[in-house]
Amino acid sequence: MRLTRAGEYGVRCILYLAACPRGAVVKKKEVALNMEIPDQFLSKIAQQLAVAGIVEIIQGSKGGLRLARDAKDVSLLDVVEAITGEIFLNDCVSDPNSCRNQPTCSVHRVWSKARMQLRETLGLATFAGLVEEGHCLQKKDDRA
């Protein structure tokens, strides 16, 4: 019941990009270095974020990463789910076969509620907000 390391890296990546000047292309290596993400692993993560429409990957010698949309339109939920898939908490909710009688199952209902709350809380946290409030892996040369 934990966020995977890949998920955490994804969050760090977007956190970094969101703190950069808007629209700037940032080298993958720079992100990896500053946010303490294994360089090659970040490639995989970035690709997932690109598929989800969160970042844009620019190839070539001046290539790198760029937010595909404004930081205020990217939530923690977006990033986490882009990496780890949709959050479900328990199988009962995601796999109909594992629960014989879903809508009337009391246990099921509790998990469903918990899931909704979790997704809502993560969904309300935008990266614009997160950057503004400050975080613990702040860029070293950040002088906002």
Partner DNA sequence: GATAAATAAGATGCTTTTTGTCTTATATCC
Partner DNA sequence: GGATATAAGACAAAAAGCATCTTATTTATC
Asked if 104 touches DNA (CB under 7 A), the answer is no
Of 62 and 140, the one with the shorter C-beta distance to a second copy is 140
- Candidates 6, 30, 84, 139; binder of a second copy (CB under 8 A) is 84
Report what 24 binds from DNA, a second copy, none; CB cut-off 5-8 Å by kind: none
Are 31 and 37 contacting, i.e. CB atoms less than 8 angstroms apart?
A: yes
Asked if 91 touches a second copy (CB under 8 A), the answer is yes
Output the six-digit token pair for 2. Answer: 């934990």
What is the rounded distance in angstroms from the CA atom of residue 126 to the CA atom of residue 113? 22
Report what 40 binds from DNA, a second copy, none; CB cut-off 5-8 Å by kind: DNA
What is the rounded distance in angstroms from the CA atom of residue 128 to the CA atom of residue 15? 9
Asked if 87 touches DNA (CB under 7 A), the answer is no
For the chain, the residue count is 144
- Candidates 12, 18, 28, 75; binder of DNA (CB under 7 A) is 28
What is the identity of the amino acid at 49?
L
Residue 134 sits at φ, ψ, to 5 deg, of: 90, 145
Report what 68 binds from DNA, a second copy, none; CB cut-off 5-8 Å by kind: none
